[in-house]
């Protein structure tokens, strides 16, 4: 760490970690809802719906905090200047965390917009928008003042702008449910398969340049190609969510073909990450950083690329749409692409923020392998449940609850795996809060 | 490849995809007018959508396949269980799902809210959405009917039971719905003729009956399913 204002990012990371811990607890509760019959009295007071809203909103919130913290860490080094206004950065962190807490308490009392993943009520949306504008202003001003443009900075700023712009489409009340879902996906799909990929590409490129010493021009050239392909396939690829909503039939073609190409940039990203790590010029200080970078690249490919591709063609999606197959993909994709990216940022930046050059990575490794194995297996169990559901409910037409009975075993196994994931999570959160220098080997 | 070529790949890729996407968006708006019967999008339908959002139904149920996967899809719910079926379940979920392994919360909706919801579900059920979901598709039923008929040598009554939605409410060997009683031993208590009469018009037998009259069964199907059930002892 060379710039004072980078310190703010430390608080973003800590807040993100605590919210992540809470998200996982709620995930366990959801799995309990699936595995056991809860009494009506509990369901009336704290239903699956409420818990799910909290689980998914916390997910988005902690990841955004992680991205913002990462941005505040990276931008000073890239621009070689202090952040334009540390005060804004502080204000914005507090505003976002308070909004999140109010939203979650609100959900418990039934204050909700009632649209999956976008449950945050409209008045709070306004706060989110103001926070986002301040953030963009702060980051943008830092970059403009420094005027030392790099591709990494440009991609980061572009991705964040795109991300904030898309959020606006999720705010209005749409009378027509078809149009509602049409724009809902501008937020959800264009986020995870567009804007967030840009942010990820930029952050990954930055960390690779810093840790491997590979020539910046090489990394940035690849970055251009990747984000170009991400947006080319991902924008029209939104159509893979428009097959069954009452939109025109041509979406079966456009959505199917473009989204089937979406794994290409992810594959490219995986290959170039591995190549850069292999061809590194600098000496290895913290080998765990590379474990995380390669783990992220590989699980990103499996969760998003492979599991996404499996059900993206309309012929298959007709039977798997809105089933547990979607859940299998949603979990491994979010974990592989964005949770691991955040962990990479945490393990890259937090030791430096504490002035630790080489950290002890024993607990971190245990955490990484436990969480990654548990989540990969959860994708398998959710996936099996989903295939059973697609077959029994959709192909045989035997009714929703009948199919659920056949699936129950797999939810129980998921719950057990979730407990392992939870333990891994505890290791990581504890580790990051108590990082220690490695004992010097002589 | 130079960095400049890479930049061009980025620009051309992004701009071409965005342009195509915006054009298709414009056209989709145009076509949704008739694909979703926007002329029938009344104030009641809109009010029903607001009720659906107010009670966060969508974080348990999917609609058009989106949302949570904890409970049945709502797209064709009117066709599947009828408006009375919806009224009863939303009004008294604690009774309707008392025996179910999965519960729906009692959220004390007013009668007016429930009527608005029904208007909303009715309108959604008529959207031309490429015949999704498959389990509620008319096409799938006829195709599976053929399969059922082919294997009907065993028990045509079992096929009627499975096909005509009895499973949504009744269970056999623990599989199926729980609004109605399990039918595993129904033959012990009721004779074939009694069963037949009950299915055709439950209220005629028991004035308080909750089961809706199964009007869409042909006489032949009625005989078959009654014979099948009467033999379950
Ligand atoms: C990191 C990137 C990705 C993330 C985080 C992600 C996450 C998700 C999530 C959470 C959903 C469920 C949304 C909902 O209905 O609530 C979803 C749906 C879907 N995703 Fe992805 N995804 C990613 C990339 C991809 C890619 C590259 C493909 C295709 C090749 C893909 C194909 C699909 C499809 C077809 C669905 C719809 C499933 C359905 O019909 O129910 N995804 N994704
Ligand atoms: C103990 C670990 C976890 C368990 C047991 C768990 C369980 C669940 C369950 C049961 C659902 C509801 C699915 C439905 O509607 O039927 C859900 C939703 C979701 N969870 Fe988790 N979760 C866990 C951790 C995570 C983590 C770490 C992430 C992200 C990295 C995540 C991301 C999501 C997403 C994106 C959804 C919405 C899925 C969709 O719409 O398809 N979960 N989770
Ligand atoms: Fe998508």
Q: Is the pLDDT of residue B18 over 70?
A: yes
In order of A190, A276, A305, the CA distances from A232 in angstroms are 12, 25, 15
DSSP A396: S
The pLDDT score that the predictor gives to residue B143 is: 46
Structural domains for chain A: 4-433 (1.20.210.10)
Given a contact cutoff of 8 angstroms between Cβ atoms, the answer to whether B120 and A231 are in contact is no
Map residue A184 onto helix, strand or coil: helix
Query: What is the pLDDT at residue A304?
Result: 98
Mean pLDDT for the stretch of residues B60-74: 98
Contacting B residues, span 25-84, partner chain A, CB-CB under 8 Å:
25, 27-29, 31-32, 35-36, 38, 41, 46, 49-50, 52-60, 62-73
Question: Same CATH fold, B139-230 and B39-134?
Answer: yes
Residue A228 CB neighbours (<10 A):
21
Question: What pLDDT was estimated at residue A320?
Answer: 98
Within 6 A (CB) of ligand 1 lie A 116, 188, 192-193, 240-241, 259, 262-263, 304-305, 308-309, 311-312, 317, 321-322, 326, 329-330, 333-334, 337; B 65-66
At residue B220, does pLDDT exceed 90?
no
B34 class by beta-carbon count within 10 Å (0-12 exposed, 13-18 middle, 19+ buried):
exposed
Contact between residue A289 and residue A365 where contact means Cβ atoms under 8 Å apart: no
Q: For B101-117, what is the mean pLDDT? A: 97
Output the residue whose Cα is nearest ligand 1's atom 15.
Answer: B66
Q: What percent of chain A has pLDDT over 70?
A: 99
Model confidence at B60, pLDDT cuts 50, 70, 90, reads very high
**Distance from residue A192's CA to the centre of ligand 3 (Å):** 7
The mean predicted confidence, pLDDT, of chain A is: 96
What is the predicted pLDDT for the residue at B140? 55
Q: A290 near A211, Cβ under 8 Å? A: yes
Q: Is the CB of A43 less than 8 angstroms away from the CB of B103? A: yes
Q: What mean pLDDT do residues A10-18 have? A: 98
Q: DSSP string covering B154-197, please?
A: T-HHHHHHHHTTGGGT-EETTEE-SSSPP-TTHHHH--HHHHHH
CB-nearest to B35 from A110, A119, A246 is: A246
Higher pLDDT, A283 or A176: A176
Residue B66: its chain A contacts at CB < 8 A? 116, 181, 184, 245, 322
What is the model's pTM? 0.89
Of A231, A394, A400, the CB nearest to B72: A400
Give CA B196 to chain center in angstroms: 25
Distance B78 CA to ligand 3 centre (A): 29
pLDDT in tens, A288-310: 999 999 999 999 999 999 999 99
A188-218 tens-digit pLDDT: 999 999 999 999 999 999 999 999 999 999 9
Check whether A113 has a pLDDT greater than 60: yes
Q: What is the number of alpha carbons within 13 Å of residue A348 lying toward its C-beta?
A: 28
Write the burial class of residue A132 (CB in 10 Å: 0-12 exposed, 13-18 middle, 19+ buried): buried
Higher pLDDT, B81 or B126: B126
Q: Please state which of the ranges A53-62, A229-238, A282-291, B162-171 shows the lowest mean pLDDT.
A: B162-171
Task: Work out the average pLDDT over A117-131.
Answer: 95
What per-residue confidence (pLDDT) applies to B155? 67
**Per-residue pLDDT reduced to its tens digit, B160-219:** 787 677 877 888 877 777 788 989 889 999 999 999 999 999 988 888 888 888 877 778
Using an 8 Å Cβ cutoff, are A270 and A258 in contact?
no
Domain boundaries, chain B: 1-35, 39-134, 139-230
% of residues, chain B, pLDDT over 90: 56
Instruction: ipTM value, please give it.
Output: 0.96
Cβ atoms within 10 Å, residue A1? 16
CATH architecture of residue range(s) B139-230: Orthogonal Bundle (1.10)
CATH classification of B39-134, choosing from 1.10.3720.10, 1.10.760.10, 1.10.10.60, 1.20.1250.20?
1.10.760.10
> Is a pLDDT exceeding 90 seen at residue A134?
yes
Query: Region A106-134: what's the mean pLDDT?
Result: 96
Range A221-231 average pLDDT: 96
CA distance A182 to chain B (A): 9
Q: How far is the CA of A407 from the centre of ligand 3 (A)?
A: 25
Q: What is the pLDDT of residues B141-168, one digit of tens each?
A: 444 444 444 444 456 787 778 767 787 7
What's the gap in Å between B79 CA and the centre of ligand 2? 31
- On the question of pLDDT at A442 being above 60, the answer is no
Q: What is the mean pLDDT of residues A22-43?
A: 97
pLDDT tier for residue B231 given thresholds of 50, 70 and 90: confident
Q: Is B223 buried (19+), middle (13-18) or exposed (0-12) by CB count in 10 A?
A: middle
What pLDDT is stored for residue B168 in this prediction? 77
How far apart, in whole angstroms, are the C-alpha atoms of residue A363 and residue A435? 10
What confidence tens digit (pLDDT) does each residue in A363-413 have? 999 999 999 999 999 999 999 999 999 998 998 777 798 889 899 999 999
Is the beta carbon of A28 within 6 A of some atom in ligand 2? yes
Long-range own/partner contacts, residues B41-47 (CB < 8 A, 24 or more apart):
B41/A175, B41/A176, B41/B123, B42/B119, B42/B123, B44/B115, B44/B116, B44/B119, B44/B120, B45/B119, B45/B120, B45/B122, B45/B123, B46/A175, B46/B120, B47/B116, B47/B119, B47/B120
Whether residues A232 and B63 touch (CB distance < 8 A) is answered with no
- Residue B192: the pLDDT is 93
CA-to-CA dists, residue A420 to A369, A416, A424, B170, angstroms:
11, 7, 6, 37
């Amino acid at each position: 760490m060379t710039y004072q204002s980078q310190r703010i990012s430390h608080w973003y990371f800590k807040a993100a970690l605590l919210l992540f811990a809470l998200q996982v607890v709620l995930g366990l509760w959801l799995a309990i809802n699936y595995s056991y019959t809860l009494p009506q009295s509990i369901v009336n007071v704290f239903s699956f719906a409420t818990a799910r809203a909290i689980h998914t909103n916390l997910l988005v919130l902690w990841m955004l905090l992680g991205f913002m913290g990462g941005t505040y860490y990276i931008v000073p080094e890239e621009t070689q200047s202090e952040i334009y206004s540390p005060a804004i950065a502080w204000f914005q962190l507090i505003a976002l965390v308070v909004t999140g807490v109010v939203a979650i308490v609100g959900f418990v009392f039934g204050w909700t917009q009632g649209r999956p993943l976008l449950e945050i009520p409209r008045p709070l949306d306004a706060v989110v928008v103001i926070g986002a504008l301040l953030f963009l202003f702060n980051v943008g001003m830092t970059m403009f003042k420094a005027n030392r443009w790099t591709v990494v900075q440009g991609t980061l700023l572009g991705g964040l702008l795109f991300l904030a712009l898309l959020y606006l489409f999720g705010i209005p009340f749409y009378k027509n449910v078809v149009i509602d879902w049409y724009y809902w996906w501008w937020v959800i799909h264009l986020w995870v398969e567009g804007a967030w990929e840009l942010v990820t590409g930029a952050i990954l490129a930055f960390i690779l340049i810093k840790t491997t010493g590979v020539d910046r021009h090489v990394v940035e050239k690849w970055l251009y190609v990747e984000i170009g392909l991400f947006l080319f396939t991902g924008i029209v690829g939104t159509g893979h969510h428009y097959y069954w909503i009452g939109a025109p039939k041509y979406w079966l073609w456009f959505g199917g073909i473009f989204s089937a190409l979406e794994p290409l940039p992810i594959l490219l990203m995986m290959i170039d990450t591995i190549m850069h790590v292999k061809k590194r010029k600098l000496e290895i200080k913290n080998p765990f950083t590379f474990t995380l970078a390669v783990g992220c690249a590989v699980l990103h490919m499996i969760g998003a690329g492979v599991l996404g591709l499996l059900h993206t063609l309309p012929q298959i999606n007709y039977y798997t749409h809105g089933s547990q197959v979607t859940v299998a993909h949603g979990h491994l994709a979010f974990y592989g692409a964005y949770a691991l990216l955040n962990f990479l940022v945490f393990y890259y930046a937090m030791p430096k923020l504490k002035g630790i050059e080489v950290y002890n990575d024993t607990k971190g490794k245990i955490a990484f392998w436990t969480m990654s194995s548990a989540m990969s297996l959860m994708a398998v169990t959710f996936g099996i449940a989903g295939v059973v559901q697609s077959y029994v409910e959709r192909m045989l037409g035997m009714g929703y609850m009948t199919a659920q009975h056949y699936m129950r075993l797999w939810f129980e196994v998921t719950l057990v795996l979730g407990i392992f994931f939870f333990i891994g999570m505890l290791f990581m959160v504890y580790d990051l809060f108590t990082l220690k220098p490695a004992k010097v080997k002589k | 490849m130079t960095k400049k070529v890479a930049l061009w790949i980025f620009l051309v890729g992004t701009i071409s995809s965005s342009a195509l996407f915006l054009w298709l968006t414009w056209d989709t708006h145009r076509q949704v007018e008739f694909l979703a019967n926007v002329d029938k999008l009344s104030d009641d339908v809109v009010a029903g959508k607001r009720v659906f959002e107010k009670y966060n139904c969508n974080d348990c149920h999917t609609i058009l396949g989106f949302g949570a996967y904890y409970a049945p899809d709502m797209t064709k719910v009117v066709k599947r269980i009828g408006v009375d079926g919806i009224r009863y379940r939303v009004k008294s979920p604690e009774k309707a799902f008392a025996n179910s392994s999965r519960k729906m919360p009692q959220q004390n909706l007013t009668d007016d809210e429930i009527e608005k919801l029904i208007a909303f579900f009715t309108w959604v059920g008529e959207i031309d959405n490429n015949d999704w979901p498959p389990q509620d598709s008319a096409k799938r039923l006829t195709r599976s009917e053929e399969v059922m008929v082919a294997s009907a040598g065993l028990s045509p009554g079992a096929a009627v039971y499975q096909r005509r939605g009895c499973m949504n409410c009744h269970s056999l060997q623990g599989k199926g719905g729980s609004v109605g009683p399990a039918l595993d031993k129904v033959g012990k208590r009721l004779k074939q003729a009694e069963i037949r009469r009950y299915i055709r018009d439950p209220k005629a037998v028991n004035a308080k009956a909750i089961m809706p009259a199964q009007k869409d069964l042909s006489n032949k199907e009625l005989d078959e399913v009654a014979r099948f059930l009467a033999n379950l002892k």
